[in-house]
Structure 1
């Protein structure tokens, strides 16, 4: 069998793949790791949801496997090092969800700026307009480009920080974002969008060193890994009012449990990873993954592979393409 599909896909994409390859659709395997391993023995490619773990044991059970597709955002439960050693390509689109994430962040900013009032010059509690705000982008993934365009339409001033991009990098000018050091960005911005890719070296980056310097009444929306923040420092600034409100699209498990720093803070809102998941973004992502999987099945020989030592690979960044082949 060439292709195992564990994650439900749009009917038109399923029909396209079935017209080109031998396909098994088995969503029930997502919750049964043992059955999944057994099913992978003669499979050359798989499209799997975040709930289906792919580790070294799974890969050893799949000697013909050449590619793993991920339509949903993130790479949860995929051992990238093991995939690299096994020569298995992890296929996903890094651009398909950009517009969805940008729209989510715009909506969150509008809600917080209007819903959490500040004291006006006349002493009254009032909301604020996004068009009059300076907005900081921490991290410059594809969604940052969409954010810059949307914010420009509102009339907002846009600044940014990304530790992986030098201030002279051409991306700043192309995306119309002014680069700033992190502390200066926090000091100047009325609103901040955090979308920085998470690595262990960035754990707690937004903590005691930087958060006390946030502009008073700042609002923050975060679609990145919440480990970028130090819980205690964030809780202190939210409780003290320097940060007027924060909206996280996910939090690490247990972060809101009784006794934890963020427990019971009314100006913190959390949503369950909905920023990147829309009907349109899933369709874009699914087509991109399906096209690449099709290419890999056609190109790869149906012979057992050998595990090899190598550096961890980088998941394929699939360029935007048409909505259908």
Structure 2
């Protein structure tokens, strides 16, 4: 991985991905006790940053390979990103999704034209399923985070953060990223290190599933003891990636873990103050900005809302916290 790959991905994404802005609200600043800027990737195609990585990877494939089709495994956001990017390229897509994924994500992925294959995330290995189907059908596997071309695509969000922060006169800030396997976090960290070294990227995860936080503390990869049981389904992964972890270890600050209640409160505040819809897993970075002030440094924090694909019932539950 290097910055040149991210810049090349930005070129391929130009005219296809949405450039999301930095939003602000004095009410959020008051809660956080510092300036808060929010990058709403929930406004990206398919409702999350995952479209960036999917387009980056699929657009770089040899045309013959792409025509055979692609396969991906995801709880929903990477699934939808790959499904749409494949459809836009005229390529078939098979998506392996946990059976307990939010109904909206399962339905949307199928509606985008992908073949959906479900599995039990507590008893089945999605990597094994993906590898087997890829071999049987001659499909190209688009991994959700531990794939250089995917990381490069996610890193384009970091290029935008660096450019927009510079335009606002911000040369030092904490950049909080919702973190699962680390594709987005490592990509943004690489982009910021190259173009805005005063911006320190920090991964944010749900309590009980903070494998990246523990891995950074211990200096080696640690696994989560469980793979389900949290409302932040979008960012629950077994462990950091073999590619992403070394990048995060070198470039990122300490991780932060937030509670389910804090994630729900952040979903509510994003709607109330910024008029945007976030899912719990996509709101953990904002939750850290608002409710973990003691763990942050400086007078400015940039938090990414990484996804907005939330079921109506969960969104209602979040709004009930207001």
TM-score by structure 2 length? 0.34
Which structure would you say has the larger Rg? 1
TM-score by structure 1 length? 0.33
